[in-house]
Each structure stands twice: as C-alpha cells, then as structure tokens.
C-alpha cells in the first residue's frame, strides 16, 4: 500500500513539475500595419509591380482573408483604426467619425483640452485617446502581464497613432507639420525621449510642408517605426511588445488624385519598397517567424466619378450641405424656428436637440419632416431614423451597418442612404480626386493579411469583418479580447 502511495505521489509531483515548467508561447512582437485608404483589390491590381519581399511576400507567405468587410457606416479613418484594434463599432466604442457632434458641439475624435503638445508649442498635441470608450489589443496585452508589455503607436496623423495604441500605451507619436517633425502629448510624457529628438533633427522638414502629400511620407513613417523599434528595444524582453504603425500618405494622395493617378501608383510602390526593408529589419532584429504582423486598412476608396462617367459607369454627387440647408428652410417654414438641423457628417444628418427642446417641439415629428425633405432628392434611396434603423425597410446588410455605426450620444439622427457611387458633394468636370464613407464594397472591402509567427500560408474567401481582427490577434496571443469586442476569431 505504501509503495502504491509513493508511486502515486511521485507521478503527481512529476506532473506538477512538468506543468510548472510549461510556458505559453507568444511572439516577441506584434506589428499592426494599417494602410489608410487601401482598397482590397490593390493587393492584386499592383501585384506585378511589387518587389520581392514586400506586399508580395505577405500575400505569398501569409494568410489572406479575401472577403473582409467593414460592418458599419461611415467608413472613415478614425473609426476604421479604432474598430481594427478594439474589435468593435461606433455604437460601442464611441468614435463616430474623424469629428462628430456631442451635446450640440463639434469635437475632434481625439481632441483633449486637458493635455498639451510635447515637442512643439502648437495645438497639434492637444489630443489623447480619452474619447474612445473601449480598450484595444495593446491595452489587453498590457493587462495580461501586469503592464510589462510595451505598446507604441506611430503615424503621420494623430488619430492613426493614438487610437490604435490604446489608453495605456507607453507612447504615441505623430507628425506636426507646423514644426516639421514628430511630436507627442502630455497624456504620455512630459518631454520627448532623446532618440526622438535626435530623429527629428536628422529628418526635420521645412515647417508647413506636409509629408502626407508625398510618397516620402511613407518612408518617413517607416523610418520612425524602425527608430522606435531599435531605441525602445521592442521584442527584446520576456513578454510580447506591440507596435502600431499607420501609413497616412496613401489616403491624402488618394483624396487629391484618385485611385488611378500616377501619384497614387508612386505611393503604393513606395509603400511596397519600404515594407520590404522593414520586414528585413524585423527579420534581422527578431528573427523570421518570431514576430506576428497583420496588414489591413481603415477603409477603401471610391473611383473618381468623372473617371467612371468616361467609361459609361453611373456616378454622381448629392450635396449633403445643401440638404441640411433645405431641411432648415422646410422646418423654419413649418415651425417658425431657424436652424433646427445642426449639421452633417458623411451621410448622417444631425438635428439641433437644444433648439428643438427649447421650442417645445416633438423630436419625432421634426425627424419625420426632415426625412420627407431628404427623400425629395431622387439621388437618395432611403432616409432612415437612426433610433429605429433596426426596423427600416432596407436590405439587411445595410441596415446592420447603420445600426453598428449609430451611437445615440454622438451620431446624427437621420442617415441618408444614397445610390451607389454617389459622393456627398457636387463636383466639377475637372475633379480628379476621391473620397470614402459609404457601405459599398469600394469603401468597405479591405485587405487583411496575417504574417509571421504561427501563421501558415493560405487564404479564405469566407466572410470576415474588420471587428474580427482584434479577437483573432488576442486568440493567437492567448489573452482576453478587448472589452467591447463583438468580433470572432478567424481560424
């Protein structure tokens, strides 16, 4: 009996020792790379022009989710970056646009009057992630090991650096064109680290120059990311670190010149070349297969309407601002009160609740009158009362995206659903640029490629969504998904 007990005890101790010696395997570093305004089809439209080792390497060696869609409206930068890293939508994470109205006041998505710039005396640093109501992959990563992981954000745009990095990030850096270099905010620090000051001296631009309008802005962003990687020694510790990088020049150039311009082609060729170099840096510093990288986009972009018309494809604009004026005229004529429509963002129309309340009007009746005015425009398919969007008589997919994009504290009251390929403004015959914001595939179909640590080569055309990115990364890391995540891990 004693012998049997000794054998049993021995087995228990061996099992305990084996379990105690086990360690959850994780990569040294997670890199999130978001390319602003990158349509999904650019992976293949430019494929033959890509160099070996850049975007072609991701496609040829990584795992591509070929049918990843944005499941909300509007499809814009701040929301896209937030949704990628939170796994959520405006209804829950609170970022409803690059700017939005809250309690009748227009605010910047990252605006924060309680902080100041670090690295300049301008207003460009009076920003933080505080307007975001959810946490991110990086926040969850830091929570998972009692904040030992280090998380950083880098971009030319403030919102593209701040929102991905999350609330507990060690730092975020963005470009202040008024001084010609990267800055930060007192939300993160009181002064720039020496390595950032040295980088700024080496790569200073003339104040007023905007690197977002040049392919060189892509290179500058990658150089800053590489300097951060080296000087902060990311991936060199006992826990996983995270680097969130966003490429902003592709969006600014796309807006100015459209989807088929030589300037846009040059920007994506530069992106490809710089990515190839950055991947070599990661391979050298961390080792191939020792880091996990994902590439995606915050939104796509519509083809230029004049370009479409030249090829007998329908395209037009409907003038959101003019619609707001028409609503105000109708409501003033009916109720004798001016300016009952506050403004618009993308296709959302905001009503002035303070004026409606003070005039003793019924908000529901005012909405109905506004909707009647909007629906007079034959370029609009439907005008939807956002509070009741779930029961609107429109296709389920579009209805779901309106519901996901509507936040009752910060979104507009009415969503105007235009015909496809319809811009929110009237344009001239010489207009060559583009925009984004709609539910349609040209704005909502985005690339999503996972690469590196524990990722096997392959692809899927099964439906995936922008909100699936965060839970997928968290599942690979064996950590809890962000606290407002509504996505599903992709496997």
> Distance from first CA to last CA of the chain, Å, rounded?
49
Return d(Cα 174, Cα 77) in angstroms, integer.
15
Return the CA Rg of the chain. 24
* DSSP reduced 3-state for 238: coil
**Which ranges of 336-468 would DSSP assign to H, the alpha helix?**
353-358, 363-374, 396-405, 441-444
- The helix (H) or strand (E) run that includes residue 458 is strand 458-460
Return d(Cα 444, Cα 69) in angstroms, integer.
5
Residues 181 and 195: beta-carbon distance below 8 Å: no
Q: Residue 333 burial by CB count (10 A; 0-12/13-18/19+): exposed, middle or buried?
A: exposed
**Which ranges of 288-395 would DSSP assign to H, the alpha helix?**
305-310, 320-335, 353-358, 363-374
Return d(Cα 226, Cα 438) in angstroms, integer.
34
With a CB cutoff of 8 Å and minimum separation 6, the contacts of 279 are 53, 54, 57, 293
Catalytic residue among 16, 18, 75, 77: 77
Find how far residue 338's CA is from the centre of its chain.
Answer: 36
77 tagged catalytic = yes
- Backbone φ, ψ for residue 158 (5° rounding): -60, -50
* Residues with catalytic roles: 77
């Amino acid at each position: 009996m004693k012998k049997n007990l000794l054998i049993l005890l021995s087995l228990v101790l061996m099992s305990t020792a084996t379990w105690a010696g086990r360690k959850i395997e994780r990569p040294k570093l997670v890199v999130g790379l978001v390319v602003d305004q990158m349509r999904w089809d650019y992976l293949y439209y430019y494929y033959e022009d890509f160099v070996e080792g850049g975007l072609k390497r991701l496609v040829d060696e990584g795992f591509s989710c070929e049918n990843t869609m944005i499941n909300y409206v509007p499809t814009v930068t701040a929301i896209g970056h937030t949704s990628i890293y939170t796994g959520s939508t405006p209804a829950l994470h609170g970022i409803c646009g690059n700017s939005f109205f809250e309690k009748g006041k227009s605010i910047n998505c990252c605006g924060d009057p309680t902080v100041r710039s670090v690295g300049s005396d301008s207003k460009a640093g009076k920003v933080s992630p505080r307007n975001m109501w959810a946490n991110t992959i990086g926040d969850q990563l830091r929570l998972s090991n009692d904040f030992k992981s280090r998380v950083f954000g880098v971009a030319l745009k403030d919102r593209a650096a701040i929102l991905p990095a999350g609330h507990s990030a060690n730092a975020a850096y963005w470009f202040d064109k008024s001084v010609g270099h990267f800055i930060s905010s007192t939300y993160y620090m009181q002064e720039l680290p020496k390595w950032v000051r040295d980088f700024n001296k080496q790569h200073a631009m003339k104040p007023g120059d905007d690197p977002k309008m040049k392919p060189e802005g892509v290179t500058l962003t990658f150089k800053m990311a590489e300097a951060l990687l080296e000087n902060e020694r990311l991936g060199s510790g006992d826990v996983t670190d995270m680097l969130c990088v966003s490429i902003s020049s592709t969006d600014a150039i796309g807006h100015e010149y459209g989807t088929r311009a030589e300037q846009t082609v040059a920007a994506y060729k530069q992106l490809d070349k710089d990515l190839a170099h950055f991947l070599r840096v990661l391979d050298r510093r961390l080792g191939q297969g020792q880091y996990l990288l994902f590439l995606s986009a915050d939104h796509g972009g519509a083809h230029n309407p004049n370009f479409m018309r030249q090829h007998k494809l329908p395209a037009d604009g409907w003038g959101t601002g003019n619609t707001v004026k028409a609503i105000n005229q109708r409501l003033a004529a009916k109720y004798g009160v001016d300016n009952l429509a506050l403004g618009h963002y993308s296709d959302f129309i905001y009503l002035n609740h303070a004026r409606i309340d003070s005039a003793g009007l019924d908000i529901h009746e005012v909405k109905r009158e506004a909707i009647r005015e909007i629906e007079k425009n034959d370029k609009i398919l439907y005008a939807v009362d956002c509070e009741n969007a779930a029961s609107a008589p429109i296709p389920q997919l579009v209805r779901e995206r309106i519901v996901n994009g509507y936040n009752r504290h910060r979104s507009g009251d009415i969503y105007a659903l235009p015909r496809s390929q319809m811009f929110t403004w009237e344009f001239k015959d010489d207009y060559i640029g583009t925009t984004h914001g709609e539910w349609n595939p040209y704005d909502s179909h985005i690339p999503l490629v996972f690469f590196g640590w524990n990722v096997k080569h392959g692809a899927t055309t099964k439906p995936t969504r922008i909100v699936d990115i965060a839970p997928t990364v968290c599942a690979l890391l064996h950590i809890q998904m962000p606290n407002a995540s509504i996505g599903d891990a992709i496997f």
